[in-house]
């Protein structure tokens, strides 16, 4: 295995770990005129590093996806020391997930967020019932990365790898 292959394999491992351990990402979109917007969403990732998230189709970022599906995103765990800065920067294309693929994405999402699964099964109050109804009606999206950069200062200041 070449150094480049080892680097890509290590970057994939680190990326999967970060994606599994981090709950939110910030997605940057743009409307049809190019006006940018950023929104934070909960997500789950599959083994191929696709990121799945739910959003109401009426939100600004969801409307942006319709006219410009190309987006950028950032995933970064909280830290309070620059030596601990870790994260993922990526660009890719967002698409609506439907049919059987939606069921698979939902299962992946509920594995990562069992509290949402519990909320669906037995809402504790009217607020939780409302949240459950809205989530069930929300669109599921997939962000398929075209380029992904992993940053991890805990491996050395400025450590980064691209996929």
Nearest to 25 by CA among 104, 106, 83, 92: 92
Res 41: pLDDT: 97
Q: What pLDDT does residue 11 have?
A: 85
pLDDT exceeds 60 at position 140: yes
pLDDT score at 44: 97
Compare 105 and 119 and report the one with higher pLDDT: 105
Q: Is residue 119 part of a domain?
A: no
Q: What is the pLDDT of residue 7?
A: 77
Indicate whether 121 belongs to any domain: no
51-55 and 139-152 beta bridge pairing: antiparallel
Q: Is residue 120 part of a domain?
A: no
Q: Which domain holds residue 32?
A: 3-105+140-162
Tell me if 36 is assigned to some domain: yes
Residue 92 maps to a domain: yes
Could you read off the pLDDT of 80-104 as tens digits, one per residue? 888 788 899 999 999 999 999 999 9
Distances (CA, A) of 127 to 119, 130, 131, 135: 10, 5, 6, 12
113 belongs to a structural domain: no
- In this structure, what CATH number is given to the domain that contains residue 8? 2.30.110.10
**What's this model's pTM, rounded to 2 decimal places?**
0.89
When divided into structural domains, the chain yields a total of 1
Band of the pLDDT at 3, cuts 50, 70, 90?
very low
pLDDT tens column, 43-72: 999 999 999 999 989 999 999 999 999 999
Query: Is 161 a residue whose pLDDT tops 90?
Result: no
């Amino acid at each position: 295995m070449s150094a480049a292959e080892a680097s890509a394999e290590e970057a994939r491992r680190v990326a999967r770990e970060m994606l599994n351990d981090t709950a939110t990402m910030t997605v940057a979109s743009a409307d049809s005129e190019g006006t940018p917007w950023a929104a934070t969403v909960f997500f789950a990732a599959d083994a191929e590093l696709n990121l799945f998230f739910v959003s109401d189709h009426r939100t600004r970022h969801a409307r942006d996806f319709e006219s410009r599906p190309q987006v950028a995103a950032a995933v970064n765990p909280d830290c309070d020391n620059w030596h601990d800065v870790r994260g993922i920067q990526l660009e890719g294309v967002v698409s609506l997930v439907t049919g059987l693929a939606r069921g698979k994405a939902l299962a992946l999402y509920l594995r990562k967020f069992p509290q949402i699964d519990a909320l669906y099964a037995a809402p504790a109050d009217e607020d939780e019932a409302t949240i459950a109804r809205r989530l069930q009606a929300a669109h599921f999206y997939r962000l398929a990365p075209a380029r992904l950069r992993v940053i991890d200062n805990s491996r050395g200041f400025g450590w980064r790898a691209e996929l």
